[in-house]
């Protein structure tokens, strides 16, 4: 079936399912083997331009196997992927056939790539692909296969074609790239028409998605429903007084006062609430037409004017390229939300290595094995101290939801991440400490995650600066022993020290500590740079990657090279920055030669 035929079927399905949109104002066109929404005339109103009844969205609550998913307590993206697979398997018998037939077989995400994966070696995306595939395999083995076996009478006729691991991966990419969070009842769902709007980043989108989220989580009702009624009855029952008196806030009985008696009398006058069945028999309708019209839509609302003939864009948010490419299949050049990471293990090794250099300078004749042992003895208690007090020294960041949202799905999909702010300003001075609170084991060796093998990452933002959590940690690592002992005795002393750094009050007195922090950051960035070496085991200039991208013949190559180029730019910025900061510390430490005063005769 051609794209045009699929579009015609989709439009008829929209009409049959009462999706409201003005075809005198909007037009759906074929764009790059997909679809896009265009304005047929100038649009200025900040009103909904599309209204999608919630009855026509596809979710784990609305699918034909909703009862099975509910009985098995299958939730999240996996449940929606299973729902999509099932409805696709039903063909024209599915209520969503007209919608599903217009979707691509899958989104072209990196998990399906072949030779293009070689371009991503060393990038953040390389590890994300591996994590994605492993998580999909785990979900399929632990959730999907047992479901197919237990309910073979539902799935047996379609297993090979519609419920294979490949089909699960393809459905998961559709869910990843197209689903919307609808409300407390449906959760994430496929929202027909809303997913036709293509993405634009940088706060330049024309429309945004609106929905009433606070609905009954049992039935999806926006306003008062039978579940709310029963909940009120239960709460009322809990508040009834017993035979001897009333229960106060502490659960102790007390005698009712005059106000309580008066309130009870008023309730008696109003009469007790009728039984639910009695209300229904008497004609009480919890689902009036007015309420239905009010509660049932997800809306695409115009955010800013659109000119005639212009494509109308939505936005998926300000994501780094690892999220855009991993979830939606595209990425941007010079993405301001990009970052790269270094592992916790790399930080530990770098701290020990620099500590060994410091100890070697103090005692040149020390044995290598003894030197290693002493370096660990000095490093370990400082590391443990920081991890134990991190929630005080570096309280939770306020603007790292972006990375956290995608990378937290590394537990699900792609890895965990904290903030990318750095505690240095444009002049290279420390400007404060705000990072993510992070749980670690009792020994301070690793993060407490489901996968104990996975060490915590630290991040470098698009400007090449390390996150503030790391720079605060490194200051704790390299202050002198006397000062560190005061930190151990009183964490407020450490907090005061870091606050003084933020205000620049200790700048001159701590030049050596600053220099060591910058040296370690430089060492980490130079080590990270090695990951981008190609098969020739050498650094390929960014200009060569740009030239290769200009000659690329596929979007896969273009996007892979874009990811690589952006990350290599961050590495180069980071190395240049920390080299300059080390030099500034060196200049600051040079003694100033005093000129001899001339004696006036």
Q: Among 227, 229, 226, 216, which residue's Cα sits nearest to residue 183?
A: 216
Residue 113's pLDDT is 94
Sign of CA dihedral 275, 281, 284, 290: positive
Residue-wise pLDDT tens digits, 112-138: 999 999 999 999 999 999 999 999 999
For 556-569, b/e burial (b = at least 16 CB within 10 A) is bbbbbbbbbbbbbb
Query: Do 330 and 478 share a domain, yes or no?
Result: yes
- State whether 375 and 328 are in the same domain: yes
The helix/strand count (H/E) of the chain reads as: 24, 14
Assigned domain for 69 exists: yes
Pairing of strands 253-254, 297-302: unpaired
Question: In this structure, what CATH number is given to the domain that contains residue 219?
Answer: 3.90.1410.10
Asked if residue 453 and residue 437 are part of one domain, the reply reads yes
Helices (H), 344-450: 344-362, 368-393, 401-407, 409-412
Within 400-483, strands assigned E span: 457-461
Q: Does residue 232 fall inside a structural domain? A: no
pLDDT the model gives residue 317: 84
For the chain, 601 residues long, the average pLDDT of each consecutive 10-residue run is: 94 96 94 93 88 95 96 95 96 97 94 93 94 96 96 81 94 95 90 93 83 76 67 62 50 56 52 54 55 70 93 91 94 95 96 93 84 94 96 70 42 35 39 36 39 73 97 95 95 93 72 93 97 87 97 96 98 98 79 47 39
Look at residue 263 and tell me if it is in a domain: no
Q: What is the largest CA-CA distance in the chain?
A: 118
Q: Is residue 214 part of a domain?
A: yes
Six-digit token pair at 218?
């049992």
Look at residue 283 and tell me if it is in a domain.
no
Give 363: exposed, middle or buried? Use CB within 10 Å, 0-12, 13-18, 19+: exposed
Beta bridge partners of 75: none
76 with 52, same domain? no
CA 311 – CA 329 distance, rounded (Å): 20
Q: Tell me the pTM.
A: 0.78
Other CB atoms within 10 A of residue 445 CB? 16
Q: What pLDDT score was predicted for residue 260?
A: 54
Number of folded domains that form the chain: 3
The verdict on 493 and 480 lying in the same domain is yes
- pLDDT of the residue at 142: 97
Closest of 60, 295, 318, 297 to residue 193, by C-alpha: 297
* Distance from C-alpha of 19 to C-alpha of 485, rounded to nearest angstrom: 68
Please give the residue range of the domain that contains residue 417: 323-589
Whether residue 501 sits in one domain with residue 559: yes
Sequence-separated (6 or more) residues with CB below 8 Å from residue 390: 435, 437, 438, 469, 473
């Amino acid at each position: 079936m051609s794209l045009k035929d699929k579009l015609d079927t989709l439009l008829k399905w929209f009409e049959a399912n009462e999706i409201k949109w003005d075809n005198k104002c909007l037009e759906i066109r074929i764009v790059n083997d997909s679809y896009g929404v265009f304005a047929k005339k100038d649009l200025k109103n900040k009103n909904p331009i599309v209204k999608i009844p919630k009855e026509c969205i596809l979710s784990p609550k609305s699918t034909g196997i909703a009862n099975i998913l509910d009985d098995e307590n299958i939730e999240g993206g996996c449940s929606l992927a299973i729902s999509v697979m099932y409805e696709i398997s039903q063909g024209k018998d599915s209520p969503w056939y007209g919608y599903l037939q217009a979707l691509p077989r899958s989104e072209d995400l990196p998990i399906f790539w072949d030779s293009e994966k070689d371009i991503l070696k060393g990038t953040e995306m390389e590890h994300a692909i591996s994590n994605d595939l492993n998580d999909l395999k785990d979900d399929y083995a632990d959730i999907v296969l047992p479901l197919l076996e237990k309910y073979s009478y539902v799935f047996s006729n379609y297993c090979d074609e519609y419920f294979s691991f490949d089909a699960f991966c393809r459905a998961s990419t559709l869910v990843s790239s197209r689903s919307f969070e609808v409300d407390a009842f449906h959760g994430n769902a496929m929202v027909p028409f809303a997913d036709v709007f293509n993405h634009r980043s940088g706060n330049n989108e024309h429309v945004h998605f609106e929905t009433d989220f606070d609905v009954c989580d049992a039935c999806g009702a926006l306003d008062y429903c039978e579940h709310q009624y029963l909940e009120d009855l239960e709460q009322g029952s809990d508040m009834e007084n017993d035979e001897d008196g009333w229960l106060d806030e502490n659960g102790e009985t007390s005698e009712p006062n005059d106000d309580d008696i008066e309130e009870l009398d008023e309730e008696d006058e109003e009469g007790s609430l009728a039984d639910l069945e009695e209300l229904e028999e008497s004609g009480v309708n919890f689902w009036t037409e007015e309420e239905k019209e009010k509660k049932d839509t997800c809306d695409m609302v115009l955010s800013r004017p659109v000119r005639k003939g212009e494509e109308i864009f939505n936005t998926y948010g300000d994501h780094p390229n690892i999220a855009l490419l991993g979830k939606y299949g595209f990425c941007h050049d010079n993405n301001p939300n990009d970052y790269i990471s270094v592992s916790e293990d790399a930080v530990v090794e770098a701290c020990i290595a620099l500590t060994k250099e410091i100890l070697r300078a103090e005692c040149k004749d020390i044995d290598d094995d003894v030197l290693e042992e002493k370096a660990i003895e000095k490093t370990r208690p400082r590391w443990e101290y920081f991890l134990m007090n991190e929630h005080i020294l570096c309280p939770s960041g306020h603007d790292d939801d972006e990375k956290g949202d995608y990378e937290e799905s590394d537990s699900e999909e792609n890895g965990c991440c904290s903030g990318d702010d750095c505690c240095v300003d444009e002049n290279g001075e420390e400007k404060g400490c705000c990072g993510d609170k992070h749980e670690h084991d009792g020994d301070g060796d690793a993060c407490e995650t489901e996968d104990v093998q996975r060490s915590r990452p630290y991040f470098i933002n698009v400007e090449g600066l390390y996150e503030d959590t790391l720079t605060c940690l490194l200051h704790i690592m390299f202050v002198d022993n006397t000062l560190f002992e005061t930190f151990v005795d009183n964490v407020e002393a450490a907090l005061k020290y870091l606050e003084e750094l933020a205000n620049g009050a200790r700048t001159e007195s701590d030049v050596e500590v600053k220099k060591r922090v910058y040296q370690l950051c430089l060492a980490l960035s130079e080590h990270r740079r090695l990951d981008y070496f190609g098969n020739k085991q050498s650094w390929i200039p960014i200009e060569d990657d740009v030239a290769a991208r200009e000659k690329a013949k596929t979007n896969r190559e273009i996007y892979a090279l874009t990811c690589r180029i952006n990350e290599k730019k961050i590495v180069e910025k980071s190395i240049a920055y920390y080299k300059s900061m080390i030099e500034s510390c060196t200049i600051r430490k040079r003694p100033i030669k005093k000129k001899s005063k001339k004696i006036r005769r």
